[in-house]
Amino acid sequence: MKLVSAKPTRLHCKTCDKTYRLPQNGAIKLYKELKCPLDEFELVLWTTGTRGKTAPVCPNCYNHSPFPAMPKESTCSMCTHPTCKHSMTANKVGACWECTTGDLILDPTSGPKWKIACNKCQVLIHLCENAFRVS
């Protein structure tokens, strides 16, 4: 797949001639060659910068929601897959106090400068630095 960085940012597969929308207003990069347990798509990482939000994204799930309760164009931070280590289910810390509809999600990609971010609004909490592991 080829990343098309011109707005809107998207992935395009020349073999099957399919285009996959991606989150906007941030940078997209490969995420450690990890794959989504639902469809084996390679995950990408969407980030708004070192001091901002970061979330793993499955391009297929982002475009074709795998669960009825999961809105279309959701990152892994909104996924309800019960066993995926990138899902909201695995990384949820609690409810957001700011927007009351979102959940605070531990950013599994942020170590050793750990962050928790709301999956619906702009709340971002910077946790301890230099911690080897947070659970």
pLDDT tens-digit readout, 46-75: 998 877 889 999 999 999 999 998 888 999
* Amino acid occupying residue 6: A
At residue 128, the pLDDT reads 77
Whole-angstrom distance, CA of residue 59 vs CA of residue 5: 15
Are 12 and 1 spatial neighbours (Cβ–Cβ below 8 Å)?
yes
**pLDDT, mean of residues 71-82:** 92
Q: Give Cβ neighbours of residue 32 (< 8 Å, ≥ 6 apart).
A: 43
At residue 102, the pLDDT reads 94
At residue 21, the pLDDT reads 96
At residue 100, the pLDDT reads 86
Q: pTM for the complete prediction?
A: 0.88
- Asked if residue 17 has pLDDT above 90, the reply is yes
To the nearest whole number, what is the mean pLDDT of the chain? 91
Structure tokens at 4: 């098309």
- Asked if residue 133 has pLDDT above 90, the reply is no
**pLDDT, mean of residues 27-40:** 93
At residue 5, the pLDDT reads 87
